[in-house]
Chain A
Amino acid sequence: MSDTIELLEAIGRNATLRHASVDELASILEQAKASEALKSAVAAGDSSLLSEEFGHQPNRVPQITNAPGHEEDEPDHDGDDKPHRPPDPGHSPPHKRTPHKQ
């Protein structure tokens, strides 16, 4: 059986495969000896069927709050809802002597 992650990556990076019809992709996956879960997911148009192979629960997705006031808890901050100046790109305070790491 072919590796499902490798097959998914191969589909994702190939212009023909990425936009192939369900029938075309099913035929290719059959030839590639894809897992039953992947073949089922493609045939049904339901990627949740892949969870049978990997057993994943859905991931949480929010990565931001919904109000600026929640985000800053620094005591000296003036006004929670004001837009914050973005950090100066590429510059760190000159008095700091911590070693740089990249």
Chain B
Amino acid sequence: MKTLSRIYMFIVFGLLYAPIVVLVLFSFNRAGTFNTYSGFSLYWYRELFRDQTALDALKNSLILATLSSVTATLIGTLAAYGIHRIRSKAVKTVINSVTNIPMMNPDIVTGVSMMLLFAAAAAIPFLKVEMGFWTMLIAHITFNLPYVILSVLPKFKQMDKHLTEAALDLGCTPAQTFLKVELPSIMPGVISGLMLGFTLSLDDFVISHFVSSSDFKTLPLYVYNQTAHEVKFSMYALCALMVFAILLLMILVNFAGADRTEKKKKKKTAAAVR
């Protein structure tokens, strides 16, 4: 029974990884087909780096992920501070449920609902709303917010409230108390919210798909466009590079912060349940 279940486990993991491994291996194949393997070559990687739109997309993705995760972390941390102190249970529930809507809804509904909002705003002449960088930034901040609050709020709850009271008694203003006492103790939550937001933003395709224009493409949108028609082997190279980057990131995070990533994914899991 035990060996049988081990074999089963290895088979499932094998199948889960097989396509990704094949893709990475064949990205080094100069021939550009699956029929013949003409030896190790970086040809498709050179092709990829000659493609200016791919490099621009990478740059755009990094800019968008940084700005959206930082903004969402600022708004979300302040919000968690406020939500933690709301006394009325009903008010708390209402705010939390509205905040969590983007986490519960399918991405496509979030995407089209924001598209409708921006289209309506575009009809107002002095607003000058156009799909592009700003609409994407707003959308990314919006879907990052619930994850930031989900990471930060429990830290406020875990905090010893006597610390805050002591600081206030000893003459700190509420602002000083927040900066000097509360912020340091919720910092792990703030950081994991920031990192989660950054990766979610980097990874998002569906919502961006509905609020973007051709002048501002992120990496997932670029991949989508490139895979719309025939299969190009420079795309395999790009995919392989992204897999390597994620692998590196995971190894780094795992070495640096013990089980922080594990908690994050579980939070995401828990979030989807609520």
* Mutual binders A and B: no
